[in-house]
Chains A and B, each alone.
Chain A
Amino acid sequence: MIASILGVGTSLFGRQQALHPSELVWRAVAEALDDAGCPDIDAVFLGTVFGAPGVAQRALHPLGITGVPIVTVENACASGTSAFHEAVAAVKHGRYKHVLAVGVEKMTDEFVGPIVPENTDTEGRAGLALPALYAMAASRYLAVHDVTQRDLAGVAVKNHTNGSLNPRSKGRPVPTVDDVLASRMIADPLTLLQCCPLSDGAAAVVVGPPDADGDHVVGVRASIMRSGGPWDQRSDDAWGFELIRDAAAELYEAAALGPRDFDVIECHDAFTIGEIVTTEALGLRPRGEGATLIRNGTTSLSGPIPVNPSGGLLSRGHPLGATGLAQIAEIVWQLTGRAGDRQVDNARLGLVETMGGGVSGIDGNACVIVALER
């Protein structure tokens, strides 16, 4: 172990216009501190993408978290897990004893629909919104791999089914494959129910020394962060595949584990195709064969390797900074037998993967992958 998770907490997820960003943080941090037995916090890393300047200190000082170093981290959709990765590194290297990782995003303060593409970016300026970026991967997969539109829809059905068991997710009613395919077209071939909804939320994790003990303590076996490499005419892989694959290879080496060793996985399913590409990049199936995991139920809640038991981003929504830490909270609850109706039996090893993008020319801004062990 390189560190421990002493406690986790989250707000509810979904549209919460009436809550101040600080109030979202208070709910998450209060639960995480309580879960951890209220240790003194020596430093804070807070992940956010669109948070206002000072969002961390503004939310933390009313909690009495003052004086200690506070650093705000932006790494697109992987901002929360990037904050976690830095918290773990700080503890691992003995810089601090107890570090709080927090993520928050009040998406409804910023957007009414999808994230507006970045005007200073080559492809953002040309109108490549994030649903379109993932649609490009889906378009390629439908054309060259054994993936159908019904497979894509199957990811949404699986994750909405899981999400219906998650009391923190203001999920939609569970759709059928036909419902998913009949929902409004967003970017061909991705329909509305294949896209994560606009959502507000916060999540928090208390990281402590590797030798910590307690009923709720989970070990951090390894944590890896990489940024993307060139994505251009030399690549025949969907955007993000190579980055996730390389980060996973590093993780498996550091953790002395392989892809089939994990009992439960939370991965980045911002769009249905994302889960298929990611499960392939993690090595659960060879490239181009990820849809079989959906077809034969391998990754369903009752299958041998449940993926996104929380309902994932498709159900919870995607408050960018909060997402990665909400994934970690879910795996901690799974490994400590506190996941309620969506509990995976005898889960001992869990994996979290978060993927952030938006910069054209590379296959991702950041990918963080974490191996947790009970």
Chain B
Amino acid sequence: MIAVMSDAIAHRSELEQPDPRPRLSPDHSSRQLRGWRCSECGIARAVHAPWCPDCSAQLLVADFGPLGTVWSSTVVHLNIADIPAPYGLAYIDLDDGPRFLAHIDGAEEPLLVGGRVTISGINERGDIEVTSIATSRETS
């Protein structure tokens, strides 16, 4: 367990507050989510854990996306914390990957549930952003 934990914090600077959010892969022009997949049961995760919470086996680094499907979505009209309203959020099920909470790239309206999206990058406060794929409204 200690080895697993050390690995997770190995690249963190001593003065940096841990950021619990999912991050993008350093590879592939940063359009993929850097997550984990269980070496035994195969479950995909967007956030780290000391071992697979389902079967206790080892988690291996894996990249997911950029394509996915909207599970649900909202636009928040409240000024909360350091995020200026309105801002759009969506739960995205990445293809063969984990569900994660994304910010909507430049959205005034929620994304269509069941619509197709792609990871478009990361915003200035560090949230992964998605954008609709143009045909989603017609096809879903």
Chain A residues with CB under 8 Å of chain B are 113-114, 116-117, 119-123, 125-129, 131-132, 135-140, 143-144, 184-189, 230, 232-234, 360-361
Residues of B within 8 A of A361 (CB): 47
Contact B21 A127 (CB under 8 A): no
Additional A-B contacts beyond A136-B91, A139-B73 (17; CB < 8 A): A116-B81, A117-B80, A122-B20, A126-B101, A126-B103, A129-B80, A132-B76, A137-B72, A140-B71, A140-B113, A184-B77, A188-B74, A230-B53, A230-B54, A232-B45, A232-B98, A233-B97
Report the separation of the CA atoms of residues A185 and B78 in the bound assembly, to the nearest whole angstrom.
9
Report the separation of the CA atoms of residues A297 and B88 in the bound assembly, to the nearest whole angstrom.
34
Q: List 9 A-B contacts (CB under 8 A).
A: A116-B81, A117-B80, A126-B89, A127-B103, A135-B76, A140-B72, A185-B77, A188-B77, A234-B43
A139 with B110, Cβ < 8 A, contacts A117-B81, A360-B101, A361-B47 known: yes
Report B79 CB to chain A, min CB distance, Å.
8
Chain B residues with CB under 8 Å of chain A are 18-22, 43-45, 47, 53-54, 71-81, 83, 87, 89, 91, 93-94, 97-99, 101, 103, 109-110, 112-114, 127
Residues of A within 8 A of B19 (CB): 125
A126 with B127, Cβ < 8 A, contacts A117-B81, A132-B89, A232-B98 known: yes
Report the separation of the CA atoms of residues A143 and B75 in the bound assembly, to the nearest whole angstrom.
15
Report B42 CB to chain A, min CB distance, Å.
11
Contact B80 A144 (CB under 8 A): no
8 Å CB contact of A128 from B47, B89, B93:
B89
> Ordered nearest first, which 5 A-B pairs have the shortest CB separation?
A143-B113, A135-B74, A140-B72, A233-B99, A139-B72
Contact B78 A187 (CB under 8 A): yes
8 Å CB contact of A127 from B76, B77, B98:
B76
Residues of A within 8 A of B87 (CB): 127
Contact A136 B44 (CB under 8 A): no
Report A87 CB to chain B, min CB distance, Å.
31
Report the separation of the CA atoms of residues A143 and B71 in the bound assembly, to the nearest whole angstrom.
10
